[in-house]
Amino acid sequence: MLGKQKEDFKDKLKNLKEYVALATVESKDYQKTNLKIIKHLTEEQNIPGVYITLNRPYESMNKILSENNIDTKMILFIDAITKIVGGNVKKKGNCLFIGSPEKLSDISIAMDQAVRSLPDEKFVFFDSINDLVAFK
């Protein structure tokens, strides 16, 4: 995150035990912003989490995160796009494949199971809210 944004983020959230944060960004900044948020949570805050990928297949997202020095062992993935784009849905230890973003019940069940499997503090990250409604 940028300096002032990072400090604002920390200041506004420091006393909250549970919260929901929504980041709205320009499409040109989408990837960079998502990476900064995930890096902040996993590296700076040392919080494990669930990453729900709605617009990039797990393999692609896992590679991008790794290339940006983000520890993917701290992340459980729920992939709701690979099956739609015809990718490989071979079982992975840290990824659960869902049929599509329109299967909100399946995403909810998978998310609940993933969150319950993580100890104490954790995050849930949707890479795009737009894609939840785009398939409806």
pLDDT tens per residue, range 8-45: 767 777 777 777 878 888 889 889 989 999 998 999 88
pTM of the model: 0.84
Lowest mean pLDDT among 11-25, 30-44, 71-85, 94-108: 11-25
Q: What's the rounded mean pLDDT across residues 45-52?
A: 93
Check: CB of residue 111 under 8 Å from CB of residue 78: yes
Percent of the chain with pLDDT over 70: 88
Q: What is the spatial distance between Cα 41 and Cα 50, in angstroms, rounded to a whole number?
A: 11
Q: In what order do the strands lie in the sheet with 49-53?
A: 95-97, 75-79, 49-53, 123-126
DSSP alpha helices (H): ranges in 15-103?
30-39, 58-67
DSSP state of 67: H
